[in-house]
Each structure stands twice: as C-alpha cells, then as structure tokens.
C-alpha cells in the first residue's frame, strides 16, 4: 500500500509500524522502488531501489520532511526514466558531486567547445553536431567528468548508434568526441584523448553517391524536360539554373539578389553561406543572365531570388528542386538536385578542362583554409570561359545536336 504524508509523519525510530521494537533501521515501502528508511533515533531518509542489468542499486533522495513525499516521487520518476533508457542514475549523481555547476563534465566541455567553434560553421552543420551529441552521447556520458571517461564507455555509446545501422553517424560522432577531448586537453580539463583509442573500431561506410546523369544524350533529354517544366515559375527558374551553376542545392535556393552582379556577370556567394566558409564566385553565362533577368520582375523586390511559396521572407524549401525532378519523371535513383554537380564534374573533366579550375568552380575544400580564403578567385578567367562553354554545350544537347565541346575543338 503506497505511503501517505500522515503515515510518513507517524513513523518513529526504534518501533516498526506493527509495534515491534527494533534497534536497527527499518524501511517502509511506497511504490515503484521508493521507500523511506527510519533510523533508531527517528531520522527518515528517502531511498530509491533500481536495477541496471543484473545489479541492484540504491540512491538516497534526501531527508524527510525536507524532501516531501511528492518531491521524492518526482525524483524517483525521473530516475526511472533514466533506467528505462539504460542510463545509471548513480553516474549522474556522481558527476553532479564531482563537478561544480556542470563544469568539467563531458557535456559542459562539449557545449563550451561547440560554442567557441560553431561560429565559423554553417548553421546546419552546427545544429547537426550538437543534436548528434544530445541524442547519442549526453544521455550516457554527458554528466560524467570528462577526465574519468574510459575508451570502453565511449565505445559502448558508439555501439548503440552502430546497432541501429547508423554507421556514418557513429563515425561522425566519434570524430566530434575526439575534437571535444582535444579541446579539453588544451584547456586543462582532460589528460588524454580517449577517442583516439577507438580509431578503426567503427567499420567504414559504403560511399553513397548522389544520383546523376552523365551520358550526353540523356543529359540532352534532361535539359529539354527542364525547359518544359509547367509548375511554379520560381521553381522552373531554379531548375533551369541548376545545371548552369552546379552549386550545392542550399547555395542555389538561398541565393539573394544582393549577391548577383549582372553588369560584371558574376554571382558572389558570401563565405557565411558556403560549406567551406570561403567566398565563391559563379561566373554568369549569357544564358544564366537571361534566366535571372526573367524572374527579376517577380521576385526582384525581395531578398531571395527563389523565395518560399508561403513567405517571401524565407528561401525556397530544400526539397523543391528534387520534388520538381520527380514531377518531370526522374526518380531519386536517376537524378537529384545535388547530381547536377556530378554531371558537370564528369563531363567537364572528360572535355579536358583544367581539373583545378573545375574543382575551384565546384567549391571543393582546400587543405589550407587560409590559402583557400585568398584563392577564391583562382583560375577565374578560365572558369568564365568554361561556364560559358558549358552553357553552350547544354544548349546544344537540348536541341539534340551532335555537340563538340569547345575544349575538344582546340580552343583551350
């Protein structure tokens, strides 16, 4: 029978509720593992009994009446939730005692690291990183002092991720944890990088490429399908520019009018919107300028070239181009918005354009971040020629012609 406040108040030291005298502590149960322990001198302490694996454990929840019956039950329920998720509440309690205000715990150090470094990341990357820690690491290791965590404990958390088939996430989280440990070492909060011992413990993932069309005849069919799209004019415009620009889908859909300089035939994407945090220049071919100018009367007074259908203050949805591709008959196994990058990379390399110019136009990473920040305009004259030649090549394919790329004609 559950306890009541009246019954708890009536309990006395040295005498059990049934009147039996005792010189030892005795306990009176409430429910769900909670009970009150009464000492021979009349002290009353709440305790919670639970099991982790096959091991039975006890936790003190405070003295009665300082901790009321209601408060004790609330704390018990919190701990029962942790136990149900496979988390030992005693670890949480130990960490709370060993750290001050959360300082020195893995979660505190990880959040400190994230706050300091995420300012230089894209918003999506910063959000994904902290979410991965919140969902996969903090519940099990977050409250532990970072210097006390053992490689086996970190591996156990990673195995939980791996067990659900999320191998890529497991490897990514391991890398994030390694960065957190390195930061803890430099700030004097840890002695070594426990994640370093787990290199190779998570199996490699199979590389998954974005679906793309690279056969010239099929590309011609795709170009004709894009031109015939009968949906929203904003979506149609984004579709037509996707193969001409071959930027990342997020970079295209978030394009702002302030970034486009038609007079100089350039679209300059600011570093804050680029994956590698470096300014990126997209030379505008005559075809691209014509398409951009066609939509200016519709969206040119707003911020975004491709605003959301629901609100002009937001950019187009991240799935709009992919949805349009499905609408014109291309499955996700055949073509994706990101696939325009693979299409351009494959065909431009086959045509003999400078590989470095192609890589720079794709805005792929450069090992030296400082050098990359200064070299964003590298190969720009050739890139301008290449982008115009590429637009002409796609026009030719759309018309069904037997197109000879400009570089193959000897005009390098």
Closest CA to 388 of 291, 304, 286, 313: 286
Q: Is the pLDDT of residue 373 over 80?
A: no
- Residue 403 maps to a domain: no
- Residue 407 maps to a domain: no
Q: What's the confidence (pLDDT) of residue 264?
A: 94
Q: What's the confidence (pLDDT) of residue 405?
A: 60
Q: What is the pLDDT of residues 135-144, one digit of tens each?
A: 999 999 998 8
**Whether residues 247 and 320 fall in one domain:** yes
Q: Which helix (H) or strand (E) element contains residue 238?
A: helix 233-245
Q: Give the domain CATH number at 346.
A: 1.10.443.10
**Whether residues 316 and 392 fall in one domain:** yes
- Residue 18 maps to a domain: yes
Q: Is the pLDDT of residue 207 over 70?
A: no
- Residue 100 maps to a domain: no
Q: Is the pLDDT of residue 401 over 70?
A: no
Q: What's the confidence (pLDDT) of residue 205?
A: 59
Residues with Cβ within 8 Å of residue 321, at least 6 apart in sequence:
235, 238, 239, 242, 249, 252, 253, 337
Choosing from 42, 57, 86, the residue where a domain stops is 86
Q: What's the confidence (pLDDT) of residue 275?
A: 79
Percent of the chain with pLDDT over 70: 90
Tokens 């400190």 sit at which residue? 112
**Whether residues 194 and 221 fall in one domain:** no
CB 39: neighbour CB atoms within 10 A?
13
**Whether residues 265 and 185 fall in one domain:** no
Q: What is the pLDDT of residues 36-71, one digit of tens each?
A: 999 998 999 999 999 987 788 999 998 998 899 999
Q: Give the domain CATH number at 66.
A: 3.30.160.390
Domain range holding 13?
5-86
Q: What is the mean pLDDT of the chain?
A: 86
The residues with which 38 forms a beta bridge, in sequence order, are 26, 44
Q: Is the pLDDT of residue 87 over 80?
A: no
Residue 243, burial from CB neighbour count under 10 angstroms (0-12, 13-18, 19+)? buried
Cβ atoms 38, 13 nearer than 8 A: yes
| Residue 189's pLDDT band (cuts 50, 70, 90) | confident
- Residue 244 maps to a domain: yes
**Whether residues 299 and 267 fall in one domain:** yes
Give me the number of domains the chain comprises. Answer: 3
Choosing from 51, 86, 121, the residue where a domain stops is 86
Active site residues: 248, 275, 338, 341, 364, 374
- Residue 313 maps to a domain: yes
- Residue 405 maps to a domain: no
What 111-116 contacts at long range (C-beta under 8 Å, 24+ apart), as own/partner pairs, is 112/183, 112/187, 113/179, 113/180, 113/183, 113/184, 116/183
- As a whole number of Å, the CA-based R_g of the chain is 31
What's the predicted TM-score (pTM) here? 0.51
Q: What's the confidence (pLDDT) of residue 120?
A: 72
């Amino acid at each position: 029978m559950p306890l009541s406040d009246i019954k708890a108040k009536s309990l006395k030291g040295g005498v059990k509720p049934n009147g039996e005298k005792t010189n030892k502590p005795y306990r009176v149960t409430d429910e769900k593992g909670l009970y009150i322990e009464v000492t021979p001198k009349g002290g009353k302490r709440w305790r919670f009994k639970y099991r982790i694996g096959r091991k039975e454990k006890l936790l003190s929840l405070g003295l009665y009446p300082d901790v009321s019956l209601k408060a004790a039950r609330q704390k018990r329920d919190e701990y029962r939730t942790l136990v149900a998720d496979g988390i030992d509440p005693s670890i949480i309690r130990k960490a709370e005692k060993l750290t001050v205000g959360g300082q020195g715990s893995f979660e505190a150090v990880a959040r400190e690291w994230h706050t300091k470094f995420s300012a230089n990341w894209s918003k999506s990357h910063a959000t994904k990183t902290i979410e991965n820690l919140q969902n996969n690491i903090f519940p099990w290791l977050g409250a532990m002092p970072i210097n006390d965590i053992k490689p086996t404990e970190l591996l156990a958390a990673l195995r939980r991720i791996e067990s659900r088939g999320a191998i890529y996430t497991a490897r990514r989280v391991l890398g994030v944890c390694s960065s957190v440990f390195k930061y803890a070492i430099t700030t004097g909060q840890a002695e070594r990088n426990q994640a370093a011992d787990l290199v190779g413990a998570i199996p490699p993932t199979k590389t998954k490429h974005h679906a793309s069309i690279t056969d010239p005849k099929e590309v011609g069919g795709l170009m004709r399908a894009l031109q015939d799209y009968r949906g929203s004019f904003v979506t149609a415009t984004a579709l037509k520019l996707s193969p001409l620009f071959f930027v990342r889908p997020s970079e295209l859909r978030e394009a702002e009018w302030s970034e486009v300089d038609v007079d100089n035939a350039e679209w300059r994407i600011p570093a804050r919107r680029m994956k590698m945090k470096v300014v990126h220049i997209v030379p505008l071919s005559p075809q691209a300028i014509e398409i951009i100018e066609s939509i200016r009367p519709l969206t040119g007074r707003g911020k975004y070239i491709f605003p959301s259908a629901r609100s002009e203050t937001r950019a187009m949805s991240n799935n709009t181009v992919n949805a349009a591709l499905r609408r014109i008959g291309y499955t996700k196994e055949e073509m994706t918005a990101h696939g325009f990058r693979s299409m351009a990379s494959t065909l431009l390399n086959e045509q003999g354009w400078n590989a470095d110019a192609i890589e720079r136009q794709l805005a792929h990473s450069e090992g030296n971040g400082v050098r990359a920040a200064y070299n964003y305009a590298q190969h720009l004259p050739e890139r301008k020629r290449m982008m115009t030649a590429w637009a002409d090549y796609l026009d030719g394919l759309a018309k069904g012609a037997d197109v000879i790329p400009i570089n193959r004609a000897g005009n390098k």
